[in-house]
Structure 1
Amino acid sequence: MSIDKKELVRRVSKRLSKSSGTVEEIIDATIEEIYESLKQGDSVSLRNFGTFYVRTGRECWVFKFNPSQRLRHAFGWSSTHKSNV
């Protein structure tokens, strides 16, 4: 199963009791800011989720993601995270 943007907006709207239009604007703006930061070569860290970054190669950029300890723990990849997921 995968979640598309429409479903993500619906779930966040429900969780926050906000209109889907407002949530969609916030999600769109967040994604645009992440894109712009990565295009400038900056990394983007989202606490308890992970860090997105790019590395330049000889002829291309490589997109990378380093998951947080909490996310690693959720998938059984970490032995250091102590709180509940």
Structure 2
Amino acid sequence: MSIDKKELVKRVSKRLSKGSGTVEEILDATLEEIYESLKQGDSVFLRNFGTFYVRTGRECWVFKFNPSQRLRQAFGWSSTHNPKS
């Protein structure tokens, strides 16, 4: 299963008891700011979610995402290795 933007807006609207038009406008503005930051070569850090960044290659830009520890834990893995586990 996957959710699209319309479903995401619906869920956030319900969670915040806000109109879907308002939530969609905020989501669109947030995404535009992320896009613009990445295009300028800046990374975007979202606490408890992760960091989006780009790296330049020889002939292209490479899009990267580094998940936060909270997101890693949600999927049962961590970036740190504990040999006693």
Common fold: TM-score over 0.5: yes
What whole-Å deviation, never above 9, does each CA across 1:17-40 have from its counterpart, x for those lacking one?
Answer: 000000000000000000000000
- Partner amino acid, structure 1, of 2:7: E
Unaligned runs of 5+ in 1: 81-85
Asked if structure 2 preserves the Cα contact closer than 8 Å seen for 1:73 and 1:79, the reply is: no
Q: Secondary structure at the match of 1:41?
A: coil
Aligned with 1:28: secondary structure? helix
2-structure distance, mates of 1:79, 1:26? 32
**Radius of gyration: which is bigger?**
2
Distance (Å, rounded) in 2 between the aligned partners of 1:14 and 1:59: 44
Aligned residues: 80
Question: 1:31 — aligned with what?
Answer: 31
TM-score by length of 1: 0.91
Change (3 A) 1:57 1:7: same
AA in 1 matched with 2:29: A
Structure 2 unaligned blocks of 5 or more: 81-85
Misfit runs of 4+, over 4 Å:
none
Q: Is the 8 A contact 1:13 1:23 kept in 2?
A: yes
CA 1:79–1:57 in 2, change beyond 3 Å: closer, same or farther?
closer
What is the RMSD of the two structures over their aligned residues, measured on CA atoms? 1.1
